[in-house]
Amino acid sequence: MAKVQLLTVQSIDGYMIDNYNELPAVLSDEIEKLKDAAIRQLNENISLSMLIDWRENEADSFTYLIEATKETRSIINGMFRMHLIDEIVRYTIPVMLGSGVSLYQQELPKNNWKVVKTASYNDEMSLTVFRKIKQDLLK
């Protein structure tokens, strides 16, 4: 089964940052690597029923990537509700915005995640990769 990966760039207080021009140059390189590794980049127009079909019928090595933006946050919340996101790649920029656009719009279903990778980039940002723990492992 293919993996659905969410890419998000957020402030310490959890607001989305989508103006990459003012962010560390290394972030652009990291995002390009993720995009290059993905078999397909998803957007706000993705059909969730098609994604379910693709995900179930593709090889484990395939990754579908969706980047968190103001335009994609609604479909991402739908993906969370349908348990379609397998991995979250979260870059945190050390700034508190105080207000802004939050990725998570409403209460989402409970899921357990594990941290599979952390990194720090010259005190300019941190990376945390979370992988969903499969439901059958929780019992």
Q: What is the CATH number of the domain that holds 54?
A: 3.40.430.10
Structure tokens of 21?
Answer: 């021009």
Indicate if the pLDDT at residue 77 is higher than 50.
yes
Dihedral pair phi/psi, residue 18, rounded to 5°:
-120, 5
- State the average pLDDT for the chain: 89
- Other beta carbons within 10 Å of 23: 18
- Give the pLDDT confidence score for residue 83 in this predicted structure: 92
Spatial distance between the Cα atoms of 2 and 55, rounded to a whole number of angstroms: 5
Q: Which domain holds residue 34?
A: 3-138
Indicate if the pLDDT at residue 62 is higher than 70.
yes
pLDDT band at 137 (very low <50, low <70, confident <90, very high): very low
Q: Report the domain count for the chain.
A: 1
- Tell me the pTM: 0.88
